[in-house]
Structure 1
């Protein structure tokens, strides 16, 4: 074990390397935690300030938009270096206060995310429950503004919460794991970074997904860790290959994903059931929960899928996946630009406020 030496009051000291790095790590974590609390505190104060100003504007709504124009100019004169009080942003404050009338909700929910995130949600989401869900998911997953916009554009709430998912998880998993597993599923999955072709084979789709694995992980959701594609399993001297193998950190289990570029047929469920048994026997440890299967196909008949899963012994879900040229109509008007696609993967940047100093 290496030792570091240092001088103190003329004496030599021996420092254990592991102890030293552990101590440094503790200090780093304390600094980061303090920085996060400071940013969070500033953000909370900012959100509450904007909400209070919005309420003042609402109470004087009889003065009309000219009041906001004058207010923006007066604030600029009084605080010439202060940003965030343009006409546009003041109108957002009014809208923010108009939508969220409950102070406690603003303080405990809305204030968890940045002003820019809040504006994106109140501009694009109509339902209160849906807004609350997107706020909670932003906090939970650390979504940047670009990623939040993408999730709203692709109707993640509808695909993950409102959709009637085709699984047998309740039958084959403990209640807690079943609920969590169903909660992470979507239908359909949107792989709009891949262009569909009529003659596309499963292996080609798989290669494209692996080539852009970061975007694949974004669509799958938080918690998925990529293990490999065409993952080799040997059973009774024969070779088998799983399309995509993941490990889910929250579910604490392996997740086997099989890809089909055509319609769902019952035989697919039997093959996936076999793979899950093999993974449970070969890879799963005592610390892991039962392996989960997800079959992604271009089209499914819900009743046929339910019959196929009914007597399967392993937990399997069936969802559709949509590529670029076959998106459902509700997504056609919300397709991101190439620039959006390139920016989606940016990490949560800790942004505090949106400075909109250009008036509408």
Structure 2
């Protein structure tokens, strides 16, 4: 399955600031752990789905989602509550990575990447490190998943962030494999059949 989805072309392709924010070899392992893009073609929702729909779909298909994330991810929670300064904040998805020995905060965005998303992620990572991280854990890592991104804007945004943050795109549906495409009727063939049916009904 991962071969069909071109894992080798996506592994380690996310834009990150890990080399500057994490010690080696942690930075290399964290960078290689992330992909770009993530393929969520197992979700039965449209490309225009909102963040909550994508999040709900991912949690509903947790086994497939964990396979797409890669080896070592353990699910901690959805809309994970953080109480900071007597205010409530909710992380979209929280994981713990068994090999990296750190929390992974994932934020889903149903639009193009905006620099302010990194500021919010930086805040979440500070809170998770303060409230949840054990003294033997490595620093928490953030992953912002957007529908699209401008690579130059993303690199400038992450350059001076204080926490390790990665940025990648996600795809809901990919084009069908060739063997399935050839087995399905074309639009023209479907229209012709529908036309025959409507002619018979007259």
Relative to its length, the structure with more helix (as a share) is 1
Contact conserved, 1:276 with 1:291, CA < 8 A, in 2?
yes
1:151 aligns with 2:2: yes
SS of the residue 1:152 aligns to: coil
Q: Does 1:333 align with 2:177?
A: yes
Are residues 1:201 and 2:50 paired? Answer: yes
Calculate the TM-score normalised by the size of structure 1. 0.49
Structure 1 stretches of at least 4 aligned residues deviating more than 3 Å after TM superposition: none
Does the 8 A contact of 1:153 with 1:334 survive in 2? no
Alignment partners' CA distance in 1, 2:178 and 2:33: 23
TM-score between the two structures when normalised by the length of structure 2: 0.85
Per-residue CA deviation, residues 303-332 of structure 1 (Å, 9 max, x unaligned), is: 0000111110000000000012xx3xxx64
What is the rounded CA distance, in whole Å, between the counterparts of 1:213 and 1:335 in structure 2?
28
Asked whether the 8 Å contact 2:122–2:162 carries over to 1, the reply is yes
Which residue in 2 is equivalent to 1:268? Answer: 117
In the aligned structure 2, how far is the partner of 1:219 from the partner of 1:231? 21
Question: More strand by proportion, 1 or 2?
Answer: 2
| Change over 3 Å in CA distance of 1:335–1:302 after alignment to 2 | farther
Structure whose alpha-carbon radius of gyration is higher: 1
Contact 1:154/1:334 (8 A) holds in 2 = no
Query: Which structure 2 residue ranges, 5 or more long, are not aligned?
Result: 181-202
Per-residue CA deviations over 1:234-253 (Å, capped at 9, x if unaligned) read 00000000000000000000
RMSD across aligned positions (CA):
1.7
Indicate the residue corresponding to 1:241 in structure 2.
90
1:317 aligns with 2:166: yes
CA–CA separation in structure 2 for the residues paired with 1:332 and 1:169: 34
